[in-house]
Each structure stands twice: as C-alpha cells, then as structure tokens.
Amino acid sequence: MSEPRTWQLVTGSAVLGLALAAGAVTAAGPWDSGQRKAERARAAAADHRGGAHHAGAPGPAPARTPAPAPSAAGVLRALGAPGTTGATGTTDAPGTPDATRTGDPTGPARPTDWAAVLVPLLADPGLGPLRTASVVDATTGRRLYGEGADTPMTPASTVKIATAAAALSALGPDHRIGTTTVGSADGRTVALVGGGDPTLDKARLKKLAEATARALKARATAPGPVRLVYDTSLYQGPALHPIGPNENLAPISALMTEEGRLDGSRSGPAPRTADPAGDTATAFAGLLRAAGLTVQGDPAPGRTPKGQGAAPLARTDSAPLADLVERTLTNSDNDLAEALARQTALARKQPASATGAAKAVHGELARLGLPLAGARFADGSGLDRRDRVSAALLTGILSRAADPARPALRPVLTGLPVGGFSGTLAGRFTTDATAPGAGVVRAKTGTLTGVNTLAGTVVTADGRLLAFAFLAGRTSSPDTAQPALDRLSAALAPPR
C-alpha cells in the first residue's frame, strides 16, 4: 500500500467522521455523539477532525468537540420534496449554491456544475443502455444531480443498503440474535432452537453445549440419556433461494453454523452444505457427549418442548446488530442479509419468510419517509433479479443514515467498503482515473450478469458529505462496467 493512498484513507475517513458526527446527538449503547467510541478515538489522533473509519483502534478522547454542523433536519424535508431529473443536473432547492470546492481546496468555495462532470462519464458505453444516477448533499438533502433518479432498477447487492437500514430501524443497533436450548419437563428431551443467526460458529456452539449440560446436571443429580431435537420453525417458506443451490448463499434456515460454509472461509463464494440445520444439530450432539451427557440416537427435527416444567437451559447470542450490518455491507454477505430481512419481519410481526421480509422492509423504509415508488424487495441480498429500487431511494437511505438525529442508522455508512482498501472495493480504484476515490469513496457494490451498481458516500474537499447511487442495466461485462462506475464516484472526490 503506497504512502499517498494511506494518507488519503486516513484523511478521507477523518473528514467523513466530521461530516457525520459534528452535529450528532448523544445516544445510548455503543454510540457516542453519533460515532462509535473507537472511531472518535481514532479521529483524535488526526488533528481532532473526527473519524468514521470503523476499523479504528481505541485511544484517548478528543480534546475538544467540533462545532455543530448545519442541522440535518432539512434532509428529511428535502428528500420528500418534489424534484426534477435530467442530464442538466437538478436541485431541490433552486438558487441555493453548492459550496463544493473545486481546484485549490484552500481557495474560495464556488458551485460545482455536477452535470458537466458526470454526464460524459455516465455516457460510458461500458454502463450499457440503462443507467440512472442520483447525487445528494447528505446534510441539506439537496439533489445535486439526477438522471432517471426515480426509475426503479434491478439493484443487485446494493439492495443490502435497504435491508440493513430497515433492520436497524426496526430492531436497533444493540439487538442480538439468539440460539437457545430448551429442556422438556421430564428431562429426557433437549431442543436446539434456531433463532436465525447465520454467524453461529463452532466455538459458540461448544459453549452452548457445555452450558446446556451444566443446566441439565443442575436439574437432576444423575441426568439420564437425552434425545436431541432441533427446531427451525422460526423461518417459513422455501429454504432454497430462487437462484437455487449456489456458492453465494446457503439454504436459508433459522439454524446454521458459519453460514453453512464447508471450507472454513468467512466471506465470498464457498461450497455450502445442503442441510445446515442438520449438520449443526449433529455437531451439537457430539459436543453434548463431550460435555458428559448421553445422547440417544441421531438428532431429529422437532419442536421446542412446551408446557409446565419445560424450561430454557442455555443461550448464545450473536454480535450486536450494528456489527452484523457492517459485516453484511463490507463483505456483501448474502446469508447475513437474508437473516437481517427476516429479523425485520419478526420485529414487525410478519412471517419470517421472503414474503414477510419484503413487507416488513418496505414498511420500515416507508416509516423513514423514503421514496418507494416502484420499489420491490423480493429478497434481502439482491440475488433475486425481481428486486427493484431507484437511485433516489438509495441516496435517501444513505442521507438518513447521516442524519445526526438517527445515530442508530450509522452502521449503514460505517459498514460500506472503502475504495481501494476494504471489502468488495479492495481491488478497485487503482487506476489514475479512479485514484481520487481511493480511501475516500465508501460504497456498496452490486453485481449480477448484466447488472452493475454502486451506491455510497464521498467527502468533498471542504468536508461536505455527498450520497450517490449509480445503477446500470444490460451491461455487457463487469470488466467495463465496474471501472466506469468507479470513475463516476471518483469524480465526486477531491482531486488528488
């Protein structure tokens, strides 16, 4: 990693932190004035400018608090106001200058003609015949540029931005997904109950087995043989995604270990088990035996014991939802995205199925006042081509996540991959034309055959946070579409 790009990542992250947190309100949980405490400490080492680099390490608190940024209340009003789109660029507040600096960042601020910057890049043939765009000032909500911004398009994995925002809004950043065990009244049956946590790993499964064994021994001086059943009834609907068996997604189940991966990986495509729940239960039975219990036969599907005398035995919880959202977005984790959609359904009293999740996500985004005309959430991951979102919806969500009054949504931003450095953008922004975006652009990628999308944020030279979304359809190859998208987003960044 070259020294100039390292400097650019640290500086870009610090400026983004200032834009997000300068006017943020104090909130409970891991949020401190709208930032994660570790991020704020990281920023303290960078001239007190604030920071949102979510991989930051703890350190001393800043010596002073930055002056408040302009209120983001205008974001909520402006995003709901009528606007126009077109190749000439648009605004929702005509006559209000865009103070983004051009050229020398120390010189006077002057308006940027974003249409002049973006229209030639949006015409790149690598983007195919269908392309839409939205660029919004995240502080004021003013649309700086739009081309078909309200047109629903197949978003591919950028739909995970919507999934993540809905889950955070419905459940809060501190929510954890539990996996539990329950014993029958006679002590002869133990149920392993799936709660929908695809991140359950072998270490936590072992601790759950040990805690279950201790609880059973505490209930009886000499516990007899037990039968193990596993309950996956929390989820409804088909286990197979419409794409069918695929290395990008395990069968969807309320009970699984390590996303059903068979190669020990933590992200990306991988061979998957065809029976994640059965494999998890089989492993759990072996761990119960290692903990000193006699388990009769093989585990079998079953229901959690009910009635008088049935009792919870043990529980293991996932990481907080804020962490799960960041992992989902950074790695474009399909299994986690589907889990987040179903957790949103459960929170809103909908069936934990694809249909229930679609209703819950749509409803939660409507509660946030977002533009949903033509939107469809066929799944949570974006693997389903029937998904439809507009560029305006994506920039609206990103702007909501930057609103100081909504710190619970901040992981939507802190989880975005960093151009040239992390997640699905680690290998991008490496050319001269895209170098300005390295370390400065944070964005969620989307890739299906014939579909390429990019949506995220970038900080201008004067610290202004912009939200952008570029969606392209009927593209011929990601090899030409992805660089074209990178050039569009890098054009929003300060010159290097």
Catalytic residues: 157, 160, 332
Distance, CA of 368 to CA of 80 (rounded, Å):
11
38 touches 60 (CB < 8 A) = no
Which residues have C-beta within 8 Å of that of residue 450, sequence separation ≥ 6?
Answer: 128, 473, 474, 475, 476
Distance, CA of 301 to CA of 316 (rounded, Å):
20
- Rounded (to 5) percent helix, strand, coil in the chain: 35, 15, 45
Distance, CA of 371 to CA of 377 (rounded, Å):
14
Instruction: Provide the Cα torsion 299, 339, 357, 363; round to 10°.
Output: 150
Q: To which residue do tokens 């502080």 refer?
A: 139
Distance, CA of 460 to CA of 12 (rounded, Å):
9
Distance, CA of 252 to CA of 335 (rounded, Å):
7
Q: Which two tokens stand for residue 319?
A: 């990481």
- From residue 28, alpha-carbon distances to 134, 408, 458 in Å are 33, 9, 27
Instruction: Tell the burial category of 467 from Cβ atoms under 10 Å away from its Cβ (0-12, 13-18, 19+).
Output: buried
Buried b / exposed e across 141-171, counting CB within 10 Å, b at 16+? bbbbbbbbbbbbbbbbbbbbbbbbbbbbbbb
Distance, CA of 342 to CA of 352 (rounded, Å):
5
CB atoms within 10 A of CB 225: 11
Distance, CA of 155 to CA of 450 (rounded, Å):
11
CB atoms within 10 A of CB 247: 13
Distance, CA of 351 to CA of 335 (rounded, Å):
18
Nearest to 398 by CA among 389, 156, 331, 107: 389
Nearest to 466 by CA among 122, 147, 101, 107: 101
